[in-house]
Structure 1
Amino acid sequence: MLDDFFIRALIAGIGIALVAGPLGCFVIWRRLSFFGDTLSHSALLGVTLALSFDINIALSVFFISSAVALVLLKLQKTTNLPGDALLGLLAHSSLAVGLVVISFLSFIRFDIMGLLFGDILAVAPNDIFIIWIGGVLILFVLKIIWKPLFASTVNYELAEAEGMNPARVNAIFTILMAAIIAISIKMVGLLLITGMLIIPAAMARNLSNNPVQMVVYSVIGGLLSVIVGLFTSLELNSPSGPSIITAALVLFILSLTKINKFTRLKN
């Protein structure tokens, strides 16, 4: 029999994988991996504010990450700096501010390793509620904006000419990214959130022939990563968050065999 904490971890992990799969595909398609890192770095500031004012961590992280994402969109329109420079500026600035705030929170005790790398085995029923309700809302909004978001990913100018308002859709997508980071921070931590978004989607890209297939494979890859990672963590007593990401990496490496076989057949 599995303990209650492990069952809760599985339920939480499955919820995250179902949401991270579709969003991760857009991260790959739009080349936004560094953007995910920026939001995850800003999440540290959200956590420190939550601890300072005794508010829900997921809610605080969501608002801070959303604010950083919207500031990025604003700076892209009002400055001549390239996108990677803006991402680096916001990522390291928000991380530095978060660390400064932490230095003043000596009266509060918290697990810094759990914050950085996650501790899915410590999720509570309230965390599961946030993950699943938040996940359903994220997928619902993503379904609504799917067509214009995909169109702007393929050709921004054409989507704009068709009246799809890609600027508004991009803003909504950045908020969805902030939301997935907020609900998954306790599972994989600040440093590994982007890996949960990117690695299953990258694996799916190696195996798929069309966008819908890629989304399906990405979700399956995320689910397998969570299940294999958690059971490996239980068996080897390894950290849960890194074990999940390591399992995703193994799946990605296995997916490369298809590319190698296809290349040999082509030659």
Structure 2
Amino acid sequence: MSLLDDFLVRAALAGIGVVLAAAPLGCFVVWRRMAYFGDATAHAAILGVALALAFQVSVFSGVLVVSLLMAVTVSGLTNRGYAMDTLLGVLAHSALAFGLVAVSFLQGVRVDLMAYLFGDILAVGRLDLAVIWGGAVLVLGLFWWRWSALLTATLNPDLAYAAGIDPRREQLALTLALALVVAVAIKVVGALLIAAMLIIPAATARPFAATPERMAFAAAAIGALSVLGGLQASLFWDTPTGPSIVCVAALLFALSSGAQVVVHRLRG
């Protein structure tokens, strides 16, 4: 009997694969204040699911294509007369609404919307694992290759220009990475919770990380702890697994915030 025959092992590996990709990306989402951008890309995933089922292609392919289109659209419409939060709000909710309506038109196709909205990590198979870890390797490879350029463009665009780095190109690289993470994560935590797994571990790690690199590693560790804790809580209390993972991440954030307050008072 193979270790991967155990559904809990597959679920844990899938969750860890997602957080390894989401951790460094989530740090950039926090630094760039792109939380709503993550929501918009994740909500577009439901439209990708509907199109994939309609054209009988893999859900991963459909979600990836639509998420990429959303990412490129947002990047292209930036600074075109609309406030960013307004633009992202329109695109996020429109994409989700069109996706849900499109699913209702599918004939002869049984669609478990709850699985796509909130994830179904316990149903992850070997092929899903290969897709998740393949995506994680690509995202981590991007950050290994472009970390310095991405960081410079994020912290000081003027310095980036002086160093020959195009901040818009680095922004596009981040949006493409975000689309890939959304595509591989939809099976684990679902479209409505992907943004939470991007933001919460990074926000939890931020107060205690002295460098950007430490923040990324700490966010990955917090994300992995959230996955394992959420799986355990789901089994113990028979709760939905995807939301349970996010709940554990939120509790860790609350503990982090409380510890930060205590440290400040002790220093004061």
TM-score range, shorter chain: over 0.9
SS in 1 for 2:57: coil
- Give the length in aligned residue pairs: 266
Structure 2: 5+ residue runs without aligned partners? none
Percent sequence identity over aligned pairs: 46
The match for 1:74 is 76
Structure 1: 5+ residue runs without aligned partners? none
* Per-residue deviation, 1:206: 2.4
Question: Where has structure 1 moved over 6 Å in runs of 4 or more?
Answer: none
- Residues 1:189 and 2:213 are matched in the alignment: no
In the alignment, the residues of structure 2 paired with residue 84 and residue 23 of structure 1 have an alpha-carbon distance, to the nearest angstrom, of 20
Q: Which amino acid aligns with 2:34?
A: L
The match for 2:219 is 218
- Residues 1:121 and 2:143 are matched in the alignment: no
Q: Is the 8 A contact 2:4 2:10 kept in 1?
A: no
Q: Which amino acid aligns with 1:75?
A: L
* Per-residue deviation, 1:45: 0.6
- Residues 1:254 and 2:255 are matched in the alignment: yes
The match for 2:47 is 45
The match for 1:229 is 230
In the alignment, the residues of structure 1 paired with residue 200 and residue 62 of structure 2 have an alpha-carbon distance, to the nearest angstrom, of 26
Alignment counterpart, residue 9 of structure 2, candidates 4, 7, 28: 7
In the alignment, the residues of structure 2 paired with residue 261 and residue 48 of structure 1 have an alpha-carbon distance, to the nearest angstrom, of 48
RMSD of aligned C-alpha atoms? Answer: 1.5
In the alignment, the residues of structure 1 paired with residue 75 and residue 25 of structure 2 have an alpha-carbon distance, to the nearest angstrom, of 18
For residues 111-158 of structure 1, the C-alpha deviation after alignment (integer angstroms, 9 at most, x for no partner) is 111111111001111000000011101110122111111111111122
* Per-residue deviation, 1:55: 1.0
* Per-residue deviation, 1:238: 0.8
In the alignment, the residues of structure 2 paired with residue 102 and residue 210 of structure 1 have an alpha-carbon distance, to the nearest angstrom, of 44
Q: Which amino acid aligns with 1:76?
A: T
The match for 2:34 is 32
* Per-residue deviation, 1:184: 0.4
The match for 1:64 is 66
The match for 1:180 is 181
TM-score calculated relative to the size of structure 2: 0.95
* Per-residue deviation, 1:162: 1.8
Q: Is the 8 A contact 2:189 2:242 kept in 1?
A: yes
SS in 2 for 1:251: helix
* Per-residue deviation, 1:189: 0.5
The match for 1:98 is 99
* Per-residue deviation, 1:69: 0.9
In the alignment, the residues of structure 1 paired with residue 158 and residue 57 of structure 2 have an alpha-carbon distance, to the nearest angstrom, of 42
The match for 2:152 is 151
In the alignment, the residues of structure 1 paired with residue 61 and residue 4 of structure 2 have an alpha-carbon distance, to the nearest angstrom, of 30
